[in-house]
Structure 1
Amino acid sequence: MNGPLSQTFPAISPIVYGCMGLGGGWDHAPVTRDHVLQAHAVVDAALNDSITLFDHADIYTLGKAEQVFGQVLQERPGLREQLILQSKCGIRFADGHGPKRYDFSREWILTSVENSLKRLQTDYLDILLLHRPDPLMEPDEVAAAFEVLRSRGMVRHFGVSNMDQHQIALLQASLDQPLVVNQMEMSLTKLDWLNNGVQVNTGQQEGNHFASGLLEYCRSNHVQLQAWGCLSQGVFTGRSLDGQPEAVQHTARLVSSMAEELSVAPEAIVLAWLMRHPAGIQPVIGTTSPERIQACAQATRVQLSREQWYQLYVTARGTELP
């Protein structure tokens, strides 16, 4: 891996396994043995393909994703040392105290991490991310919470998710250690992060919702970009294309053709396209199918040429470059 996190974690994988699909449904039904066995299977599949970074959030399946993962760790002594664990906090669902909201208060960050560690049955997180920007964020208060977590050995590194460079810089100014991750939606169907750059000085930037300069900020400041939604809900890897835009259908055919030419799964082409970018982007995959995890892992042996990369980009755009 050539991304910034490789300097902090030499054994880190270029692909992240996202645990949002573990633990059953987004409801209060209890965790079952089948859910735990599923978690064992995906951990084995990931590790068999050298995927070592596992991404959680306190809200995933209402805490059950962390719970079943913790059960796996409890049942397999020594496994924790083979993994890099990342979780997120800051989103609160509607309850008796208020509507769905974001909460970067010192109290909520500390409580969230304490609960995540209990569910995961571990003493520490390698990385903690703030899940979505809180308009009421007080950077010094966040810094105080981070210092408590760091000094107690509960969290080793910190990052963010879904933030622009101004929000990151504001928070970073109050911190003693660098933010190491920013997780954003990036894929062949979510192209704002690329279009934002190539459309400079063209008059075509209206409607682009990716923060201008964020990509460059993260690269310049050694902030690891991680891509959620990177497989575009499977539209390029076997999902029905009925009703999909023409550009998506053309891209799906191109992905299939390239996969056949390079003797890999279509998932490998989709992820290799992201990983070809010099920012060293880490795709976050969320499938619970061991076979599909293996298909995704094939991306590490694919090196797309500049022409192949642009062919996928332009086809997915649905229009030639300016």
Structure 2
Amino acid sequence: MGTTEPNRSVLTPSLADQLPPLILGGAGFSYQQHPSPELLPVTTIVKRAFDLGLRAIDTSPYYEPSETLLGEALASPTIKSVYARSDYVLMTKVGRLTVDKFDYSPKWIRISVARSLERLKTTYLDVVFVHDVEFMPLLSTLTAISTLDSIAAEQPGVIRNIGISGYSLPTLVKLARLTRQHLHRPLDAVQVWAQLSLQNSTLATDPKYGIRSLRDAGVRCVCSSSPLAAGLLRDCGVPVGALGDWHPAPQGLREACITVAKWIAEHSEEVTGRKEDLASLALRFAIVKAWHIEREDAGRKVAVRTVVGVSSISDLEANVRAAQICLKPVAGRERDGIAVSNEVDEIAYMRDWPLFHEIRKFLRPWLDYDFSTGQKDLDAGIIPPGESNS
């Protein structure tokens, strides 16, 4: 390793400049999220996503069989005849194998990268994240990051950006700082799930472990996934795939979200003059919060992009419609999809705000509830007794 931080922008545009406001999440093509992902029309979904401007994909070997399905789709004539590899961003992960098995060893990291390249049928990966870092010792994760950095040095262009992913913001911030301190380079990207939503906006608000701490550690791109709190914030509840109900939310929170969804269906038209659904509102809230983070951090170059999982064309188009409601189009380029704009329509935001406010009132006992610790201001009595660890 050198003693100065590399200037990667000399070779390629910054990751933030390449990423659209919405990123297609590959977890929707997994056994965690769907009972039979191999039956999904993945090629059709990806082609439609690209046409609509979602020209970035995030996946993982853990989202079995997502990488394989995506690779087949991306190599199909349907997509290759229209989109070159340089037209889209491809992100995957290393280190997590199953629900309870991890391997961050240098040997496995190298095998995993080579396997992802083969499965995805590509010669390079725009981002490789070390997956779910809160489950492994800090030193193991630093070793995995260092291994990815070595691969990038040995095979220029094969790994263009290196990051970490997880749920625990304290762990992500600690690792971002340690990477800069010990490996003499900042992380290019951090992915965090379910921490920028109507239920939990800790990424934006936490003064110790939120977005500012990641920025101060040199991180310039944050991918915020699970804007629907991994499926909680929708009318039909959490998704249950072939691996069963894995969602960590306790029953009290699940019931609160169902109550919210029913209230939105019955009363949203009274508030805004338009019938709404919880999933669309939750996604719009996440997009707007990401924009507010960037605006408040103007000049310091922290970009926040939202990862959305889909398993159908209807999911995809619903997400795009939600984004189009709250993002401004760019004059003359409306046909290019949502990727042309990352600017929020303030009028649309003000129209949505009363519903955001009502939803958060319903969820007040569970706001910023932490899935990993089962805590949220327990000393203040905010979580009902007996439910904090349910």
Which category of TM-score, normalised to the shorter sequence, fits these structures?
A: 0.7 to 0.9
- The one of 293, 297, 303 equivalent to 1:279 is 293
Residue of structure 2 equivalent to 1:82: 87
Q: Deviations over 1:161-206 (max 9, x none)?
A: 1142112211232335431222222222344446745xxxxxxxxx
Residue of structure 2 equivalent to 1:73: 74
Tell me: CA distance 1:275–1:194, structure 2 relative to 1, closer, same or farther (3 Å). same
1:137 Cα offset (Å): 1.5
Residue of structure 2 equivalent to 1:204: none
Give the conservation status (yes or no) of the 8 Å contact 1:227–1:283: yes
Residue of structure 2 equivalent to 1:213: 209
Tell me: CA distance 1:314–1:93, structure 2 relative to 1, closer, same or farther (3 Å). closer
Report the Cα distance in structure 1 between the residues aligned to 2:108 and 2:353, rounded to whole angstroms.
48
Report the Cα distance in structure 2 between the residues aligned to 1:284 and 1:83, rounded to whole angstroms.
15
1:69 Cα offset (Å): 1.2
Residue of structure 2 equivalent to 1:230: 227
Report the Cα distance in structure 1 between the residues aligned to 2:48 and 2:278, rounded to whole angstroms.
18
Letter in 2 for 1:44: K
Q: Deviations over 1:267-289 (max 9, x none)?
A: 33211211212235422211211
Tell me: CA distance 1:122–1:30, structure 2 relative to 1, closer, same or farther (3 Å). farther
Q: Does 1:257 align with 2:254?
A: no
Report the Cα distance in structure 1 between the residues aligned to 2:230 and 2:262, rounded to whole angstroms.
12
- The one of 8, 28, 37 equivalent to 1:21 is 28
Number of residue-to-residue matches in the alignment: 291
Trace 1:233-244 onto structure 2 (pairs within 5 A): 233-239=230-236, 244=254
Tell me: CA distance 1:238–1:245, structure 2 relative to 1, closer, same or farther (3 Å). closer
Report the Cα distance in structure 1 between the residues aligned to 2:230 and 2:277, rounded to whole angstroms.
16
Give the conservation status (yes or no) of the 8 Å contact 1:251–1:312: no
Letter in 1 for 2:268: S
- The one of 42, 46, 51 equivalent to 2:49 is 46
Report the Cα distance in structure 2 between the residues aligned to 1:228 and 1:137, rounded to whole angstroms.
24
SS in 2 for 1:48: helix
Residue of structure 2 equivalent to 1:56: 59
Q: Deviations over 1:199-235 (max 9, x none)?
A: xxxxxxxxxxxxx423221244344332332223545
- The one of 298, 305, 313 equivalent to 2:321 is 298
Residue of structure 2 equivalent to 1:166: 174
Q: Which runs of 5+ in 2 are unaligned?
A: 1-12, 239-250, 295-303, 327-344, 368-379, 381-390
Task: Quote the sequence identity (%).
Answer: 19
Report the Cα distance in structure 2 between the residues aligned to 1:249 and 1:73, rounded to whole angstroms.
40
The farther-off stretch of 299-308 and 82-91 is 299-308
Residue of structure 1 equivalent to 2:183: 175
1:87 Cα offset (Å): 0.2
Residue of structure 1 equivalent to 2:114: 114
1:123 Cα offset (Å): 0.4
TM-score normalised to structure 1 length: 0.75
Residue of structure 1 equivalent to 2:10: none
Tell me: CA distance 1:307–1:31, structure 2 relative to 1, closer, same or farther (3 Å). closer
SS in 2 for 1:174: helix
**RMSD between aligned residues:** 3.7
Q: Which runs of 5+ in 1 are unaligned?
A: 1-5, 95-99, 198-211
Give the conservation status (yes or no) of the 8 Å contact 1:18–1:54: yes
1:54 Cα offset (Å): 0.3
Letter in 1 for 2:288: R
TM-score normalised to structure 2 length: 0.63
Residue of structure 2 equivalent to 1:146: 149
Tell me: CA distance 1:51–1:109, structure 2 relative to 1, closer, same or farther (3 Å). same
Give the conservation status (yes or no) of the 8 Å contact 2:199–2:360: no
Residue of structure 1 equivalent to 2:9: none
Letter in 1 for 2:175: Q
